[in-house]
Amino acid sequence: MACAYNCENNMEKQVFHKKARTGAIRVWTIEVDGRFVTTTFGQLGGVMQEVIDEGQLKNAGKANEISPEDDALAMAERTIRKKERGGYKAEGAGEASSCIDWSKKLPDNLCFYKPDNTLSAALTKKVEDGTAWLGRKRDGEMMVFVKNDQGKVDIYSRRMLRSHHHEDDSTPWAARFAHLVDELEGRKDIPRNSIFLGDVVSDPIEDSRWDVAKVMKTKTPEAIERQKLAPLFFYCWDIAAWDGVELLPDMLTGDRFELIWGVFGKEWDGESWFLPVEVHGPEEVRKACRLLVPRGESLPGSNVAAASLLAEKRGWEGWVVVDPDGVYGDKGFNFRGKPDRPGQFAGKLKPVHEDDFIAQFDPDDARGGGKAGKWGRGKYRGQVGAVSLWQYDKRGTLHYVCECGGGINDDFRAKYSDPAVYPLCLRVLYTDRTYKSAGEKTNALQFPRVADVREDKGPYECINPRL
């Protein structure tokens, strides 16, 4: 990407175009003036909408201090990369890719589907009827493995990046996963021009998100060194293409799973670095759940509740529920850089936890107690964007948990955008959390979202004995 800067280190206006599904041309522009980033967007020839973001001072007083002006430029460059992955092209750069060309690398605007974050009514009914399939959701990092037309393996991130964001294509993802590459290239029964979707995970049985992150977030030499003792595995949960044929638009989900099991087996063989998707039927889930429910306690009445309980007791992240007779059609993949969600046929089922937390909000440190939370961006500038969550341990020591922006709606912003009204007590929903007391690096929540404000409870009542 080449950005145009003027003599004051601002970014001159950049103009990008994209063809929408309807055939209309979408226009998006961006420019930087000092610490302000201005973007406009709309249909060519129509009314343009404008959003202004503001760079922030970061790491003040430290060697790595970032000025608001530099932060604004970095913000603009990140946004441009995101738009380019979404299919936008700079003026004069030609059309974005609209098909898979097996003689080339996969285009960066290609985007594969994601299961819906919740269960649709149709999927819920199928779980209760016993006709849905429940696949274990692993806590890993989604990757795309491709056996190309030369029989070599290319690896892409979820966003179709070919390498770590601090490296370039001369050091691709494949360089840090030689054991996975060698196995896939050595499998003569796996044809060229095939695409596998899955997660790199820490272990065939257990999940350690931190072990995966240590490999994925570091540069290649350190990632290789870390895997000398504990190489990562690949948990394949779909096959997008096989022998040059795109499967997602037309093949039944159940048939694609049968293909996965035909390639990698239904159970791990103890030797392969590739793990097959682990699938259970609702009745099988109920039987397994019954074995884990203490004597005297009743089993949940619904299959959905039983599945949630089983995942929680096994320490799993949850399930991906699919309709084996579902066909994803044009929602299997697209070239718009943003995943479609075939929610009628694929959705997530996760155990949901809740707890009460102290919320702080003082992004400018006006009260001198340290920065807390974040201001909103774009049309939410000047309003609360995220709050900082805290809890006390049983000794009365206050512990930072994480930032939370999920669940903050217009009503919350209208009532609680003034730092002076904090601290608040919030009921927060989340899918999982870690604890430093258990050897983890943080006390953070996974996917936290504000449920409501606990006006009947004071901040000092937010106690968690596990901290």
Residue 410 token pair: 């217009």
The span from the CA of 372 to the CA of 370, in Å, is 6
Compare 453 and 6 and report the one with higher pLDDT.
453
Q: Is 80 exceeded by the pLDDT of residue 368? A: no
The span from the CA of 273 to the CA of 265, in Å, is 12
Domain spans of the chain, in order of start = 11-90, 111-349, 353-461
Q: Is 60 exceeded by the pLDDT of residue 419? A: yes
Q: Is 80 exceeded by the pLDDT of residue 116? A: yes
Query: pTM (2 decimals)?
Result: 0.76
CATH architecture of 111-349: 2-Layer Sandwich (3.30)
Give the pLDDT score at 321: 97
Give the pLDDT score at 92: 67
Lowest mean pLDDT among 21-25, 57-61, 402-406: 21-25
Give the pLDDT score at 8: 59
Interior angle at CA 30, CA 341 and CA 74, nearest 5: 85
Give the pLDDT score at 95: 67
Q: Is 50 exceeded by the pLDDT of residue 7? A: no
Mean pLDDT for the stretch of residues 413-422: 93
Give the pLDDT score at 4: 52
Compare 107 and 257 and report the one with higher pLDDT.
257
Q: Is 70 exceeded by the pLDDT of residue 279? A: yes
| 321 contact partners, CB below 8 Å, separation of at least 6 | 115, 119, 123, 126, 127, 132, 133, 134, 135, 346, 347, 348, 349
Residue 127 token pair: 């779980």
Indicate the fold that domain 353-461 takes in CATH.
OB fold (Dihydrolipoamide Acetyltransferase, E2P) (2.40.50)
pLDDT digits (tens, 9 = 90+) for 236-268: 999 999 999 999 999 999 999 999 999 999 999
Q: Is 50 exceeded by the pLDDT of residue 3? A: no
CATH code for residues 11-90: 2.20.140
Q: Is 90 exceeded by the pLDDT of residue 460? A: no
Give the pLDDT score at 353: 87
Give the pLDDT score at 88: 83
Q: Is 60 exceeded by the pLDDT of residue 2? A: no
Give the pLDDT score at 1: 40
Give the pLDDT score at 44: 83
- Model confidence at 438, pLDDT cuts 50, 70, 90, reads confident
Residue 318 and residue 349 in contact, taking contact as beta carbons nearer than 8 Å: yes
Can you name the residues that pair with 449 across neighbouring β-strands? 406, 429
Residue 396 and residue 68 in contact, taking contact as beta carbons nearer than 8 Å: no
Cα distance between the two ends of the chain: 45
Can you name the residues that pair with 66 across neighbouring β-strands? 58
Phi-psi region of 303 (alpha: psi -120 to 50; beta: other; left: phi over 0): alpha
- Model confidence at 43, pLDDT cuts 50, 70, 90, reads confident
Mean pLDDT score across all residues of the chain = 90
Residue 198 token pair: 């899955």
pLDDT digits (tens, 9 = 90+) for 165-206: 888 889 999 999 999 999 999 999 999 999 999 999 999 999
Residue 318 token pair: 């949850």
Residue 408 token pair: 């903050």
What is the percent of the chain with per-residue pLDDT over 70, rounded to a whole number?
97
